[in-house]
Amino acid sequence: MPSALVTGSAKGIGKAIVLALAQDGYDVAVHYHSSKPEAQDVARQAAEHGVTAITLQADVTKPQEAQDLVQLAQASLGSLDVLVNNVGNYQKSSLAELDTETWHAMFDSNLHATFYTCQTAVPIMRTQNSGRIINVGYTGAEHLVARPIIAPYGIAKTGVILYSKALAQENAEHGLTVNVVSPGVMENSVTKPLDEIPMGRAGQLSELVGAVRYLLSDEARYVTGVTLEVAGGWNL
């Protein structure tokens, strides 16, 4: 069976993705930082689809723990065919009130953690001559629009997109694809500015999962370095 590691998959978007992959026949590694009971429950649900489902704990903002996570997932599942980087904290703060700790925390969880896991996963996938990496972005991050209230988050997500494009270009000849799925306002979002969304509603997690499934499908073998926004026209 193909195998997948989804970071931050004990809850929310990560949970929805890992359960969908299990339904599609992937052995899965459910990653968590502190939500152990939730991760164990997700693994139990995933295993009901007849696949292997394991839980792995790590603080992926720390380089060594992120590296160990990827290597342990590969060793435990026998391969690493898919990596989905979903970890990424979100915090609002005006620039006047923004402190150094928050600035670094946003980059550590959103950009640096993605870098750490990818840099470990790519050599494994190159050896296999195949692999799919999907990094979770943020709708509008490509547009370079001022968002003072979430400045470090937005900048970090723009970095994820640029890093993903570079990784896609460098590894295309090795059978790897690297893409970004950027959710907008989703059903589990903390705030829901529906008046800003042309479709007038929040997105469903199943709709975001559909974008992930497409990028992992055979039909998307020739798709790499793209950002697929699932946002109902938000930020157009």
Span 44-69, pLDDT tens digits: 999 999 999 999 999 999 999 999 99
Catalytic residue of the set 138, 153, 163, 222: 153
In a domain, 171, yes or no: yes
Which stretches within the chain are classed as H helix? Answer: 12-23, 36-47, 63-77, 100-107, 113-128, 151-171, 205-216
Residue 208, pLDDT above cutoff 90? yes
Its pTM surpasses 0.85: yes
116 belongs to the catalytic site: no
- Tally of structural domains, the chain: 1
Nearest to 83 by CA among 57, 114, 62, 49: 114
Range of the domain at 32: 3-230
In a domain, 27, yes or no: yes
In percent, how much of the chain has pLDDT > 70?
A: 100
Cβ atoms of residues 207 and 157 within 8 Å? no
In a domain, 114, yes or no: yes
pLDDT score for 167:
98
In a domain, 236, yes or no: no
Q: What is the CATH number of the domain that holds 12?
A: 3.40.50.720
In a domain, 226, yes or no: yes
In a domain, 235, yes or no: no
